[in-house]
Structure formats: structure tokens, C-alpha cells
Amino acid sequence: MRRFGVALLAAVMAVSALAITPGRSEAQALIVVTRVYSEISRNGCLTYVAQWSDGSYTIVPWVCPFPVVPLRNDAPVPVVRSYQERGREGCLWFVSLWADGVYTGVPWSCPFGVVPIKPGTVPPLFVPVPQPFFALPVQPFFWQPYWYRP
């Protein structure tokens, strides 16, 4: 019964903190990937495409036939190089560097439960939840392999 009361108090405090946060709006939502696919473009290049939750697309040209130099859609800028890199969140990204110094990226493979955020967007400020005046003894559960001995 006491744990229920503490959980109820924490939930009420969290909801009240969110309700009184100034400037919080729906425009601050995270832009996350909704779909990733590969396609052959009109010029014959194999490209990787990411569709984001705001309706925008990110395209990375990967392999093109010999005489073709891919250009970015919003400007006639050629690609310098395309490569793979591992992001901080653990996702494998296909990345292109364009001649004007702009990078574009497409997340291709992510660990289970990780949703990549669109590069160049700022996540909203997270509101800290007020902590109760007393600490509950909580033992977190972390899965360890059977051979792990601390």
C-alpha cells in the first residue's frame, strides 16, 4: 500500500511538472525515422532513402555506374564520397559528403528498441521529474551473460 501511495505521488508530481512547463508545444516533437529503403534512381545509382516523421526524405547515393556523378536534389552539387559509420545510438548509418560540405545520412541498421533521430534537429528539453524527499531502496536489474562475474 505504501508503494502505491509513493507511485501515485510521483505520478501526480510528474504530471503537474509537465503541465506548468512554459513554452511546451507540439512543435517540439522529435523527428524520427519512419521508413528506410533502397532504390535504383533514374540515373542508375543505388541509393538509400530515409523517410522522416516530418515528411522529409534523406537520400544517400551509394553505388553509381561509371560516368554518372550523383547530384543533390536541392542544389546541383556533386557527391564527394559515401561511407558507413556507427552513430552514438548504435545505428549503422550510410553517409554522403557533398562538395559544399553538407552531410546527408540514412540510418540502416539499429539495435532493438533504438529509433534514430533526424540529424540536424534538436530534441526538445526534457523536464526533470521532482524527486521525493526520501529514497526508495531499488535494485536495478541488468542482464548479464552467464559467464559474467562482478
pTM of the model: 0.61
- Is 4 in a helix, a strand, or coil? helix
CB contact set of 90 (below 8 Å; sequence gap of 6+): 110, 111, 114
Local structure of residue 58 (DSSP, 8 states) = E
Average pLDDT over residues 7-33: 57
pLDDT-based confidence at 115, cuts 50/70/90? confident
